[in-house]
Copies of this chain bind each other. A is one copy, B any other.
Amino acid sequence: MTKAYVGIDIGGTNVKIGIFDGELELASKTSVPVEADIEPEAMVDLIGDTIEKILAEKEMSLDAVEAAGVGSTGQFNLTKGFMISNPNLTKFQNVPLRDMLSKRLGKPTVVDNDGNAACWGEYALGAGKGVSEMILFTLGTGIGSGVVCRGELLHGCGDNAAELGHMIIYPDGRLCGCGQHGCVEAHASAKSTGRKAQEAVEAGEQSSLTKVLEENGAITCKDVYDHLKAGDELAKKVTDDTAKALAILCVNVLHATEPERIVFAGGMIAAGDVLLNKIKEYFNEHIWKMKKETVEICFAVLGGDAGIIGAAALAKHEKDLGRM
């Protein structure tokens, strides 16, 4: 392997690291747990040591590395490469993460938030391959997103663009964790989907999910899709409502940046075609009739490695363009 790129995915409880070759094929990967109160210096050392260790296992060293990329939870100033804050890493307040890592590795390093890194991964090597305009939605506890326009991630004036899960589609609708009402996240994330079913059962609606709530104390998104397959009416109502909200989100982002492909990722896509087909059905029902839209709505393909792949691909992209 003549050239290597490192992809680093800093999550809530662990850091994933991948080593990629010049064609961004994964050569090796690992995951290390981190405590919420780890000091920034200790984190940077841990990442550096881990990279050296997995490189050594391949009989390589940092000499082979061209550049490193980081995708991470938290709030960033991307121009400066600072992690401003991170609810999962309490000691990270205005930490110059990019420069600290770059110094430790002796290599150019780029940082971005996890939603953007995952989006870039799917764009460069996954479901977005071959297009220059793409949007990714990650359906999990919340709805994360990333937007690629003209082959570049959108960052906005303050590095908070592409928060598409907080588009309001039901004014005065369900309260979102962000403080707004009617965000698509409050209506159609995995968490919201489970919650809507639970609220309906608690309000006395008839459903086979009642037993799940009694036994587990909560209804998850997976429960709802499982019971949909078994023919439960409430599960149908709730999942229809979720798919409709996601379809309207697709309509709205189409009218914003006009992507060629809209990609859904995250735990909730395990629901499969029953989710994807319903989103497409509602999209076709709600989209304008002015012209025929050919946007492709599909699922992500990289799974849990999207973060490290995207981070490494971003490092290669920035390096290739001479921007670092």
Task: Assess whether A179 is in contact with B290, with CB atoms less than 8 Å apart.
Answer: yes
A156: which B residues are within 8 A, CB to CB?
133, 149, 257-259
- Render A129-158 as a binary contact track against B, CB cut-off 8 A, 1 for contact: 001110000000000000101101011111
Interface flag for A320 (CB, 8 Å): no
A42: which B residues are within 8 A, CB to CB?
none
Distance (Å) between the CB of A300 and the closest chain B CB? 19
Interface flag for A169 (CB, 8 Å): yes
Task: Assess whether B171 is in contact with A244, with CB atoms less than 8 Å apart.
Answer: yes
Task: Assess whether B257 is in contact with A167, with CB atoms less than 8 Å apart.
Answer: no
Chain B residue nearest in CB terms to A84: B291
Task: Assess whether B248 is in contact with A171, with CB atoms less than 8 Å apart.
Answer: yes
Can you list 13 contacts pairing A with B, beta carbon distance less than 8 Å?
Answer: A131-B157, A133-B156, A156-B257, A160-B258, A160-B291, A166-B251, A166-B288, A168-B169, A169-B171, A176-B288, A178-B290, A179-B289, A180-B251
Task: Give the size range of A's interface with the partner.
Answer: 35 or more
A154: which B residues are within 8 A, CB to CB?
149, 257-258
Alpha-carbon distance between A316 and B298 when the two chains are bound, in angstroms: 40
Interface flag for A256 (CB, 8 Å): yes
Alpha-carbon distance between A210 and B178 when the two chains are bound, in angstroms: 43
A257: which B residues are within 8 A, CB to CB?
147, 154, 156, 161, 256-257
Interface flag for A163 (CB, 8 Å): yes
Alpha-carbon distance between A81 and B114 when the two chains are bound, in angstroms: 38
Task: Assess whether A256 is in contact with B286, with CB atoms less than 8 Å apart.
Answer: no
Task: Assess whether B131 is in contact with A180, with CB atoms less than 8 Å apart.
Answer: no
Alpha-carbon distance between A161 and B295 when the two chains are bound, in angstroms: 12
Interface flag for A98 (CB, 8 Å): no
Alpha-carbon distance between A260 and B157 when the two chains are bound, in angstroms: 6
A295: which B residues are within 8 A, CB to CB?
157
Interface flag for A287 (CB, 8 Å): yes
Select one of B131, B155, B256, B260 contacting A167, CB under 8 A. B256
A294: which B residues are within 8 A, CB to CB?
158
Interface flag for A255 (CB, 8 Å): yes
Alpha-carbon distance between A163 and B252 when the two chains are bound, in angstroms: 9
Alpha-carbon distance between A263 and B89 when the two chains are bound, in angstroms: 38
Alpha-carbon distance between A290 and B179 when the two chains are bound, in angstroms: 7
Alpha-carbon distance between A162 and B149 when the two chains are bound, in angstroms: 12
Select one of B149, B159, B169, B288 contacting A178, CB under 8 A. B288
Distance (Å) between the CB of A111 and the closest chain B CB? 18
A180: which B residues are within 8 A, CB to CB?
251, 286-289
Chain B residue nearest in CB terms to A261: B157
Distance (Å) between the CB of A52 and the closest chain B CB? 36
Interface flag for A164 (CB, 8 Å): yes
